[in-house]
């Protein structure tokens, strides 16, 4: 039984694919054959199964939005005082918190502080407070408390209603997190991927994560962390002006900012240092280009974003290794790692992948159309005696449906890949007149 099994039918360019993920999995095919589509599907499916809380948080955003607006309106434009400062402080905690329950608790604390402020001022005939009070009352009635309003409630009574509603959202969040409802998960995936998932099935140890007849999302054991690298060019770009928002780019840069750990494979780190003649490190001093630096062995230090692309490729792996991201429960998804590498470094990169799997147990899902990379992975894995954890898949165009591809399992026999790729020689012969 393979730990992770993926079954896909009629998903974008993929006509059919049955892929087992166990160790180092390499998929090959021409441009447009759906390799990146599979990579992103796998990334988000595993990411959100491991981080179901973020789905719950996203689902409850519309319910929390008017409460956030109410508190934000309360923290500005009114007379300063102890209660007002508390409102602002709790609101800051809510906006900065990554934990949904901490965020909701901070909202409740801010609302309690707002009650105190209102109690302090409502008996005073202050026109500024009256204007403030009317605005809050309108926000509450129009967008938060829309039902069961008994006559003209006081502002404090309305705020009490908002507090009860906010606490109710917290209970709802807890219930959703406990049940790990499948429909919420599937709908969120479909939204993120902008595609229906009717004919996609993913299982871990035969327990379905995605597919038909799934009631709740299981807690994953085999893969507890997933990282997706589609280009090394993204390294350090999250602080650049004009940085485009793509979720897995943001995720990767946040992971890269984790502090280094004391326990990691020094031997693997040293191999990478020997290849790129230096090493990457995270600098606590901020710069507009980011905090990741590259220090060459002769002492030259530059921002990693300004380094050669090959340096970025290896530094990225080095950083993930040193901050503990790369472990036996990590799946590293990499799109076309050879795209920015010199042929010699393609082989070195393949060697690092095999050694990370051999020494640490890291799992890999790699899309490639490089014969050098495919060969290097195969023969280095054989020499290191981990080829039993290696499997290749080749995308072949469906004869009955143009622009659709079937993924064929070829084990460790890479000859079909070479036959597919060697069509380029025919083109050279055709255009060059051999």
| Assigned domain for 252 exists | no
pLDDT value, residue 98: 87
Strands (E), 311-369: 330-335, 363-368
Here the tokens at position 54 are 């973020």
Q: What angle do CA 139, 142, 145 make, to 5 degrees?
A: 90
pLDDT value, residue 242: 45
Say which DSSP state 304 is in: G
What is the Cα–Cα distance from 332 to 354, expressed in whole angstroms?
Answer: 12
pLDDT value, residue 287: 60
What is the Cα–Cα distance from 148 to 164, expressed in whole angstroms?
Answer: 13
Largest CA distance in the chain: 96
**Number of compact structural domains in the chain:** 1
pLDDT value, residue 298: 93
Q: Which of 383, 385, 430, 392 is nearest to 412 (CA)?
A: 392
Residues of the chain where predicted confidence (pLDDT) is lower than 50: 81-82, 240-242
Question: C-alpha distances in angstroms, 286 versus 98, 261, 319, 323?
Answer: 22, 20, 17, 19
pLDDT value, residue 303: 87
| Assigned domain for 50 exists | no
| Assigned domain for 22 exists | no
Alpha helices in 384-433 (DSSP H): 415-421, 423-432
| Assigned domain for 256 exists | no
| Assigned domain for 352 exists | no
pLDDT per position as a tens digit, 164-184? 999 999 999 999 999 999 999
pLDDT value, residue 1: 63
pLDDT value, residue 421: 72
Rounded to 5 degrees, what are φ and ψ at 174? -65, -45
pLDDT value, residue 433: 58
Q: Which of 383, 338, 393 is nearest to 358 (CA)?
A: 383
pLDDT value, residue 85: 67
| Assigned domain for 184 exists | no
Residue 101's domain comprises: 58-176
| Assigned domain for 223 exists | no
| Assigned domain for 101 exists | yes
pLDDT value, residue 119: 85
What is the Cα–Cα distance from 30 to 256, expressed in whole angstroms?
Answer: 30
């Amino acid at each position: 039984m393979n730990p992770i099994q993926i079954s896909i039918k009629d998903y974008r360019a993929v006509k059919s694919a049955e892929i087992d993920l166990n160790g180092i999995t390499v998929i090959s095919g021409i441009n447009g054959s759906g390799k990146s589509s599979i990579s992103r599907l796998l990334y988000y499916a595993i990411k959100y199964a491991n981080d179901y809380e973020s789905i719950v948080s996203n689902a409850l955003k519309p319910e929390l939005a008017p409460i956030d607006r109410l508190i934000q309106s309360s923290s500005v434009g009114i007379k300063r005082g102890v209660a007002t400062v508390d409102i602002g402080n709790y609101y800051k905690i809510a906006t900065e918190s990554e934990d949904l329950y901490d965020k909701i608790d901070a909202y409740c604390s801010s609302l309690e502080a707002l009650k105190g402020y209102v109690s302090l001022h409502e008996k005073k005939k202050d026109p500024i407070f009256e204007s403030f009070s009317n605005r809050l009352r309108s926000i509450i009635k129009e967008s938060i408390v829309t039902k069961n309003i008994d006559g003209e409630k006081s502002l404090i009574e309305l705020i009490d209603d908002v507090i009860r509603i906010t606490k109710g959202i917290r209970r709802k969040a807890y219930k959703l997190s406990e049940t790990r409802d499948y429909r919420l998960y599937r709908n969120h995936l479909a939204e993120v991927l902008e595609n229906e998932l009717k004919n996609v099935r993913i299982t871990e140890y035969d327990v379905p994560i995605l597919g038909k007849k799934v009631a709740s999302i299981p807690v994953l054991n085999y893969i507890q962390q997933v990282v997706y690298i589609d280009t090394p060019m993204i390294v350090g770009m999250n602080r650049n002006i004009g940085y485009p928002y793509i979720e897995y780019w943001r995720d990767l840069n946040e992971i890269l900012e984790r502090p280094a750990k004391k326990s990691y494979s020094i031997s693997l780190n040293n191999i990478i240092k020997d290849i790129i003649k230096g090493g990457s490190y995270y600098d606590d001093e901020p710069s507009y280009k980011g905090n990741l630096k590259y220090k060459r062995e002769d002492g030259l230090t530059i921002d990693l974003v300004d380094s050669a692309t090959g340096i970025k490729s290896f530094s990225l792996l080095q950083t993930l290794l040193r901050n503990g991201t790369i472990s036996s429960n990590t799946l590293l998804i990499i799109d076309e790692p050879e795209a920015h590498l010199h042929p010699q470094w393609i082989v070195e990169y393949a060697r690092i992948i095999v050694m990370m799997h051999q020494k640490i147990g890291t799992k890999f899902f790699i899309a490639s159309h490089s014969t050098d990379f495919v060969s290097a992975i195969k023969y280095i894995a054989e020499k290191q005696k981990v080829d039993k954890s290696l499997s290749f898949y080749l995308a072949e165009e469906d004869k009955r449906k143009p622009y659709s591809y079937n993924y064929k399992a070829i084990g460790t026999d890479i000859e079909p890949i070479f036959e597919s790729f060697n069509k380029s020689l025919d083109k050279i012969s055709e255009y060059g007149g051999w």
